[in-house]
Amino acid sequence: MSRTNKCLNVYQGVGILVSTLLGSSIFIIPAIAADLAGNKSIIAWILTILCVVPVAFTFSNLGAKYPSEGGTAYFIKQSFGEKFAKFTSWLYLSALPICPPIIVITGASYIGAIWGGSQWQIFAVCIAMLAGLFCINLYGLQFASKMQSFVSVFIVGILVTLIILAFTKVDVVSGLVIKMNFGDISLIKTTISLVFWCFVGIEAVVHIAGDFKNVEREFPLTILISLFIVGGICILLSLIVLKFHTYGSEALNSNYIVALFDLLIGHSGKVFVAIMAFFAALAAVNVYLISFSKMIYAMSITGAVNERFKITNKNGMPVNALIVCYGLATVTIVLKYVFNINIDELILYANSVFIAIYLLASIAGIVLLEGYKKYMAVVSTLFCSLIFLSLGWKSVYVVALIGVFYIIEYMMKQRNALRI
């Protein structure tokens, strides 16, 4: 059970979760979805929101019944034991080479849009971001934790301002025609797999379920209210993107909000939004990388990884773990630019990890929950299974991880046996 103080209410919980869900995804996904499916992307958004509802219900019910800082891994432990819980931890860790680079590239793309930077100039910004954050983290100055609320308020402010400006300029919905035929089903499935990235973060707030004053009432409300706020913003932005046609290439997709502000209020708005998006990404990726390094450090304490990752500097930062985290993020960014990998490909790989985590939590819900809540967990399991299968060969990333996990487990057992 949770050891934290119960201090959160619904409003505070919604503030935390909305900022977590928006993250950097809102700065790129609506344009990529429009590029992929055109007007049909609106159908993908609506279907995704409807399908994520049972997933949100399952997480909220599990969090209310089993509030713990362990989050999803704790649910898995209650359902299937320690070994599956350990695998869930490794599954989270497997997102390390993908999630932070996506956010870094998004932030660098926005700052590069100010002067129309080339791909290699944006690459240089990415490397500078990682190098700067690494140096800061060595001194233990986790500035993102101090500026997170400030940045989150500005992100929401930017998005609301953009929506109001667009709706006052033109009739966003007029002329929107959506035609569907049987052959579009595959396209819609792929688009749903992509836009799911905007709802990654539900699992993160489970870790603070125990902080709510009335967890059984307030925690489910927090998740559902946040889901519909973010979903509404996503649909409105998608309509605006389609109306102004601010999509069509990776460069434009990666900074569509800058392009929209440039169209609506001119260059000054463009610069302001680009800078804010950059700092939002900077803060988000800092939190991700520190969290991953702390996870590696914690795993070294339990013996899950090499004990060298226990080493900390005088400021208490796990140096070796930080080097691994930043090193993997750098490698992914280098590969992305050398081999010209599309960012939507990286997002789909990252989604395979989080959808697998949601699937595990949903299966745990079938085991742990009762009554109608169990049936909601069944629906959630079916949805997550369909989305995971729709990823096709990209889901091999998770399957390969299972093999790696069992190899590591075997090697650890052999090492312990030799010590005995």
The answer to the question of residue 405 being in a domain is: yes
Pairwise CA distance, residues 196 & 410, whole Å: 34
Pairwise CA distance, residues 255 & 250, whole Å: 9
Q: Quick one: tokens of 71?
A: 């989050």
Amino acid 151: pLDDT: 65
Sorted by sequence, the CB contacts under 8 Å of residue 101 that are 6+ apart come out as 126, 329, 332, 333, 336, 346
The answer to the question of residue 2 being in a domain is: no
The answer to the question of residue 230 being in a domain is: yes
Task: Name the pTM for this structure.
Answer: 0.79
Pairwise CA distance, residues 11 & 378, whole Å: 29
Return the number of other C-beta atoms located less than 10 Å from residue 168's C-beta. Answer: 8
The answer to the question of residue 374 being in a domain is: yes
The alpha carbon of residue 63 and the mean position of all alpha carbons in its chain are separated, in whole angstroms, by 19
The answer to the question of residue 148 being in a domain is: yes
10-residue block means of pLDDT along the chain (420 residues)?
59 75 80 93 92 89 79 85 84 86 89 86 94 78 51 75 88 80 85 88 69 80 86 92 91 86 78 79 76 78 79 80 92 92 84 90 94 93 90 81 78 70
Amino acid 3: pLDDT: 44
Q: Which amino acid is at 68?
A: S
For CA atoms 386, 387, 391, 397, the dihedral sign is: negative
Q: Quick one: tokens of 304?
A: 């899950």
Amino acid 351: pLDDT: 85
**Closest alpha carbon to 241 in 261, 256, 263, 252:** 256
The answer to the question of residue 3 being in a domain is: no
The answer to the question of residue 211 being in a domain is: yes
Sorted by sequence, the CB contacts under 8 Å of residue 40 that are 6+ apart come out as 178, 180, 184, 187, 188, 191
The answer to the question of residue 1 being in a domain is: no
Amino acid 24: pLDDT: 64
CATH of the domain at 17: 1.20.1740.10
**Can you give the length of the chain in residues?**
420
Range(s) of the domain holding residue 125: 10-419
Q: Which amino acid is at 271?
A: V
Query: Residue 400: is it exposed, middle or buried by C-beta count within 10 angstroms (0-12/13-18/19+)?
Result: exposed
Q: How many domains does the chain have?
A: 1
Q: Quick one: tokens of 200?
A: 């990654």
